Amino acid sequence: MAKLKRINKFISDSGLCSRREADKLVEAGKVLINGDLAEVGSKVDVGDEVLVNGKLIEVKSERIYLAFNKPTGVTCTTDLRDPDNIIDYIGYNERIFPIGRLDKMSEGLIFLTNDGDIVNKILRAGNEHEKEYVVKIDRKITDEFIEKMSNGVKILGVTTKPCKVERKNNGNFRIVLTQGLNRQIRRMCEALGCKVLKLKRVRIMNVGLEGIKCGEWRYLTKDEMGEINLMIGNSSGTEEASVVEE
């Protein structure tokens, strides 16, 4: 006997969006199961017809995982009304969506997938998966700056978690975060009296930018995905993944 699947998981498995976004579609009355309005928590059985905004949703078995070196000027949104959206820029021939975000003026590594299950497990701050950045600011980097960034800076009413910070040269530093607060690095720098001139994400977990030119992408390898799946094996999948991280 086939196992019933929650409607948000069914929709995310189709690659349309994350579970959180799927719940929003359900709440907005845009999802039908066999002609009836779905509710949050509704279950889907084999053979059920699911429509989202009038379009039939089908779950594909093949999972897609891309590593993309995002240039500045590209927006990490699936909204095709945005002329700079990441989906049109990449032009992949199947529906995918980004795992997390980098703001428009930031560049570097971002994952894209059609696997809604993996999104929150990678992004949820409580899971403490590392993201590494190289940052250029508008002033000389002092020992005091490194110490304060490392120990935590008060932004958005909270103090950021301790993190690894290393000076590269007078105006550049490397930082490894396990959080994804809104515009985190930029806000941390502003709180310490400086401005970010350039921000580049160079690593997510076990995957770096090596071999991926700016504006290009590649598939994540089986070995990389195997390691990622081990790292997220005990991760919470709580729906908490729509912050703009950096």
pLDDT beyond 60 at 208: yes
The question of whether 103 is a catalytic residue gets the answer yes
Residues 194 and 215 in one domain: no
* Among 82, 103, 138, 223, the one annotated catalytic: 103
State residue 55's pLDDT score.
92
pLDDT beyond 90 at 244: no
Residues 6+ apart with CB under 8 A from 203: 109, 130, 131, 132, 209
pTM summary value = 0.74
CB of 43 within 8 A of CB of 5? Answer: yes
pLDDT beyond 60 at 2: no
Report, as an integer, the average pLDDT of 78-106: 94
pLDDT beyond 50 at 238: no
24 domain-assigned: yes
Residues 73 and 179 in one domain: no
State residue 242's pLDDT score.
39
State residue 116's pLDDT score.
80
Torsional class of 156: left (φ above 0), alpha (ψ -120 to 50), beta (otherwise) = left
Report, as an integer, the average pLDDT of 15-42: 93
Residues 157 and 199 in one domain: yes
pLDDT beyond 70 at 140: yes
State residue 241's pLDDT score.
40
Domain harbouring 140, CATH code:
3.30.70.1560
Residues 102 and 221 in one domain: yes
240 domain-assigned: no
Residues 114 and 136 in one domain: no
pLDDT beyond 70 at 245: no
- pLDDT interval class at 233 (50, 70, 90): confident
Please report, in angstroms and rounded to a whole number, the separation of the first and last CA atoms in the chain.
45
Residues 34 and 155 in one domain: no
The number of folded domains in the chain is 3
Residues 37 and 144 in one domain: no
43 domain-assigned: yes
Looking at the DSSP bridge assignments, the partners of residue 10 are: none
Give the torsion sign (CA, 23, 59, 77, 103): positive
Report, as an integer, the average pLDDT of 115-143: 85
218 domain-assigned: yes
Residues 105 and 220 in one domain: yes
State residue 118's pLDDT score.
86
78 domain-assigned: yes
The 10s digit of each residue's pLDDT in 144-203 is 999 999 999 999 999 999 999 999 988 899 999 988 888 999 999 999 999 999 999 999
Between 19-27 and 116-123, two packed helices, what is the crossing angle to 10 degrees? 110
In 3D, which of 205, 17, 184 has the Cα closest to residue 106? 184
Residues 52 and 17 in one domain: yes
Domain of 169 in residue numbering reads as: 130-204
State how far the alpha carbon of 53 is from the alpha carbons of 44, 48, 108, 210, in Å: 17, 16, 33, 40
Residues 145 and 191 in one domain: yes
237 domain-assigned: no
Is the pLDDT higher at 119 or at 59?
119
105 domain-assigned: yes
35 domain-assigned: yes
Residues 26 and 144 in one domain: no
Domain harbouring 28, CATH code:
3.10.290.10
Residue with tokens 């579609």: 25
Residues 192 and 96 in one domain: no
